[in-house]
């Protein structure tokens, strides 16, 4: 379940602590945060593409007068 993993919470806390240290900030950004951001962006883009592929165009037909 989302938000219930103790391991993920521990890892997030460690990453947060390391991000506060100037010597570790760049490494954590490159090794952890960057890949997570790219993965998230790819998932969002894939979802948008799937949604666009199933989008239905509705239009109104005018009856001849």
Longest Cα–Cα distance of the chain, Å, equals: 76
Query: How many structural domains does the chain have?
Result: 1
Does residue 62 sit within a domain?
A: no
Does residue 34 sit within a domain?
A: yes
Upper half-sphere CA count for residue 20 (Cβ side, 13 Å): 5
Looking up tokens 């990453």 gives 15
Domain with 12 in it: 6-47
At 61 the pLDDT is: 66
At 31 the pLDDT is: 96
At 54 the pLDDT is: 85
Higher pLDDT, residue 10 or 57: 10
Mean of pLDDT over the chain: 89
At 22 the pLDDT is: 96
CA 14 to chain centre: 20
Higher pLDDT, residue 61 or 20: 20
- Count the helix, strand and coil residues of the chain and give each as a percent rounded to the nearest 5: 70, 0, 30
Model confidence at 65, in pLDDT bands (50, 70, 90)? low
């Amino acid at each position: 379940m989302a938000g219930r993993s103790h391991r993920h919470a521990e890892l997030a806390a460690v990453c947060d602590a390391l991000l506060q240290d100037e010597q570790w900030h760049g490494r954590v950004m490159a090794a952890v945060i960057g890949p997570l951001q790219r993965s998230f962006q790819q998932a969002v883009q894939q979802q948008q593409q799937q949604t666009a592929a199933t989008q239905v165009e509705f239009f109104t037909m005018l009856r001849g007068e």
